[in-house]
């Protein structure tokens, strides 16, 4: 059974979902964050690592992840995890990295459907011209995440 915990981050409330010993979702939410720390160890560890990330003390997450999506989406999401902290790549570079250089739109679509924001850093993908491109949770959030990472490098 999926368990959800609401976490207040500097960029908004996050809904953290875990199921069967793995993190299955991390999405921005309009819900009110819980003031209580979660009881489940994986939720505790996720909150701890998010605290460290937002404090500039963590650049890599070490959590068990479980994705539900097409084989192509999963390939894109795995590739996103290889983008170094504080760096960005273009949608075209991501398409190249997944072995389909002409699939920029498909890569963008898979990127937008990433179920585990921040930890699977879809915010690190930008337009080839250096523009931010899109972001499922708004360009202000994407800009703040990239700025936070640049400050932590």
CA dist., res. 84 & res. 121, Å (int): 9
> For residues 63 and 23, is the Cβ–Cβ distance under 8 A?
yes
| Partner residues linked to 126 by β-bridges | 90
Nearest to 24 by CA among 79, 58, 63: 63
For 93, the token pair is 């570079």
> For residues 115 and 70, is the Cβ–Cβ distance under 8 A?
no
Phi, psi (degrees; rounded to nearest 5) at 120: -105, 100
Q: Is 122 a catalytic residue?
A: yes
CA dist., res. 79 & res. 143, Å (int): 21
Catalytically annotated residue among 13, 47, 104, 122: 122
CA dist., res. 11 & res. 123, Å (int): 13
Q: Which residues are identified as catalytic? A: 122
């Amino acid at each position: 059974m999926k368990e959800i915990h609401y976490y207040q981050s500097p960029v908004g409330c996050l809904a953290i979902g875990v199921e069967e010993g793995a993190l299955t979702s991390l999405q921005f939410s309009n819900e009110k964050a819980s003031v209580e720390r979660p009881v489940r160890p994986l939720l505790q560890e996720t909150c701890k690592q998010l605290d460290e990330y937002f404090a500039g003390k963590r650049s890599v997450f070490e959590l068990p992840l479980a994705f539900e999506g097409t084989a192509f989406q999963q390939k894109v999401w795995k590739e996103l995890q290889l983008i170094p902290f504080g760096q960005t790549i273009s949608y075209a570079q991501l398409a190249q990295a997944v072995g389909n250089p002409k699939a920029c739109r498909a890569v963008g679509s898979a990127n937008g459907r990433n179920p585990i924001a921040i930890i699977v850093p879809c915010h690190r993908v930008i337009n080839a011209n250096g523009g931010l491109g899109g972001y499922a949770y708004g360009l202000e959030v994407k800009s703040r995440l990239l700025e936070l990472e640049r400050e932590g490098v």
